[in-house]
Amino acid sequence: MTPALPRLAALATAVPTYALGQAEVARRARHLFAEAAAEDLDRLMPVFAHAGIERRYSCVPIEWYEQTHDWTERNALYLEKATGLLERAARDALGRAGTAPSAIDAVVAVSTTGIATPGLDARLINQLGLRADVRRLPIFGLGCAGGVIGLARAADLARAAPESRVLLLVVELCTLAFRKNDVSKSNVVATALFGDGAAAAVISCAGEGPALGAAGEYTWPQSLDIMGWEVAEDGLKAVFSRDIPGLVRRHMRDAAGAFLSPHRLALSNIDHFVCHPGGAKVLSALEEAFRLGEGALVDGRGVLRDYGNMSAATVLFVLERTLAARARGRLLLTALGPGFTAAFQLLGAA
């Protein structure tokens, strides 16, 4: 008997109210950072112009970033804003799938930009009207890889119980990590790249939609310091290695090939690459690694331009845009996150 295939019944995305134009962010960042390190500012500021971003969205108004905020305040905002944003995305996804909240059997909730105990999934049970016996799987710590890995875990749950319906929730409020007195390169890069956003999906073996195939991960040894968060007294502090694009160029092709090979596939069998746009340089490195040609990752570049890097949620924005363009054939979703880990998910669009 052929195993049931999990399918993506619906996908929806949401962003907060406040739109931040990149030029305005750069202007304000220069003013704020000037107090801390005037001598290094001219060397650091070009990252804003070269980020490939025109605007992003924030859960707080731009004036919020001009003040100092402690960990308690930041996390309280995270709980409030992340829950509201997820509810919007979830209701849209459920509506598009024609699925009542009471029909959901399991919830997978992915987020790494705040701490929620009880989790965001628990907070949404009553708000969405989910059943009291819904199964919960909160996932923390995956960073930018969380969208792909969360989708894979949701597909696993649906595959294990073919009659079930699984709700995937992904939200990241990256901008809440901004610190105005930190002129480290990682903080300046984060300020130039990060935006806020959420995505939700309904996955089930019953019904129609693109089929979710094999998924996999590869974690490079001795790579814990490449990407992640440091926990500081005033909240989470971004960590980025300057060599991420170089690592992608050198190693991503082999990692993707090793994932595909057991499934009797090669990169030449992929019709569409749906890649997390970590930044303009990372997208160029992915295009080089997959031998696609400069500028080939059009949807990734478009999402980066319009929304910035929303960590785990971003790849689902790219997937939404790719499917809206009526992409057909075999899609490969990829993302890179703390670990340092590459995540892969195959999807078939008929």
Between CA 242 and CA 246, with CA 243 as vertex, the angle to 5 degrees is 140
Catalytic status, residue 144? yes
- Look up tokens 């930044």; give the residue: 279
Helix, strand, coil tally for the chain in percent (to 5): 45, 25, 30
Catalytic annotation, pick one of 144, 174, 205, 275: 144
Q: Is 201 left (phi over 0), alpha (psi -120 to 50) or beta?
A: beta
CA atoms within 13 A on the CB side of 303: 29
Number of Cβ within 10 Å of residue 257's Cβ equals 12
Q: Which of 269, 347, 335 is nearest to 6 (CA)?
A: 347
Q: Which of 190, 170, 207 is nearest to 15 (CA)?
A: 170
- The residues assigned a catalytic role are 144
